[in-house]
Amino acid sequence: MTTADVRRDERDGDPGGWRTGWTVFAGVMLIFNGAMAILQGAAAIGKDDVFVSTRNYVYKFDLTGWGWLHLSLGIVVVLAGCALFTGALWARIVGVVLAGFSMIANFLWLPHYPFWSVIIIAIDAFVIWALCTGGVRHGRGYAR
């Protein structure tokens, strides 16, 4: 895309760079989120003493099982974050779905690591927002 094309898109009311920036933001945040989930999963699988569990929490699960879930979800989320850089519509849809799954997993992970879970839930919400508001590239310009 040349400078003239960008100027024409901006004249037509299409801030293409802004939308592309949000997709890049979402991709970077998904890669970061997935990497952190991989580390959470590895810590939960390797050493159960790292995490403190709340006694009377409604959703009681085995910590090692949660470790494997976070590890596998983290790998898939990193791959989805990398796929976002292709600009494909399917990658955006997969990114939204996986960010939603990550939100649910971290909500259920709250008794083990509450502060970090809330941060990851907020990052996932920003990722979903960024992927849902950005434009999809079709040739020159963006679909409206």
Which residue, 136, 60, 137, 73, is CA-closest to 99? 73
Q: What pLDDT does 63 receive?
A: 77
pTM of the model: 0.74
CA distances 69 to 14, 63, 75, Å, are: 40, 10, 10
Model pLDDT for residues 60-101, shown as the tens digit of each residue: 677 788 889 999 999 999 999 999 998 888 999 999 999 999
Model pLDDT for residues 2-14, shown as the tens digit of each residue: 554 544 444 444 4
Segments in the chain forming alpha helices (H)? 3-11, 16-46, 63-83, 89-108, 114-133
Does residue 136 sit in helix, strand or coil? coil
